[in-house]
Amino acid sequence: MNRCKKPTNALTFIALCTVAASLFSIDAAAQADVPRPQTQNESLVGGRTFPVGTLRGKFMVIDGVDVELDGRPDRMAPGGRIRSPQNMLVMSSAIAGQKFLVNYTRDAAGLLREVWILTPDEAVAKRESLDKPLLNIWPFTTSDTVNTQ
């Protein structure tokens, strides 16, 4: 059973789809010129793009969800993630006892939500949020966490 009785209907539909696709691609190209406020200094030197409000610190997993951040005991949030320098998920037991320089964010309860282990290039870049620590929920930072490993 042929549902498209006239071949011109199918051709008209294809022509309208191509016109609509070309209009949407023009809008997407115009949006690409808009600067993105989330871009941090690490992405300028070839690193990853971190959310606005991330902080930097020295990080070590003690056991499971118990971690040490900047020499003080801390905890990972339920469902908190640790990402390697290759941006892959890392299990906390795999890196227990090792110290890393990281960027991190906290959740509303003050627990560590996202932790990114930094590459050497990312570690050299200065964190924008260290100058403005109120962008994070719990801005506990110390001056010795800047660009050290």
Q: Is 15 left (phi over 0), alpha (psi -120 to 50) or beta?
A: alpha
What is the spatial distance between Cα 112 and Cα 87, in angstroms, rounded to a whole number? Answer: 17
**What pLDDT does 126 receive?**
73
Q: Which backbone phi and psi does 99 adopt, to 5 degrees?
A: -100, 140
* Tally of residues, the chain: 149
- Encoding tokens for residue 88? 């892959």
Question: Could you please report the per-residue DSSP string of 61-96?
Answer: EEETTEEEETTEEEEEEEEEEEE-TTS-B--GGGGB
Q: Work out the average pLDDT over 103-130.
A: 84
* pLDDT tens-digit map of 77-98: 999 999 999 989 999 999 999 9
Asked if 141 and 105 count as a contact pair (C-beta separation under 8 A), the reply is: no
Question: Could you please report the per-residue DSSP string of 1-32?
Answer: --S--SHHHHHHHHHHHHHHHHHHHHHHHHHH
Residue 60: pLDDT over 60: yes
More confident: 65 or 45: 65
Residue 136: pLDDT over 50: no
Model confidence, pTM: 0.60
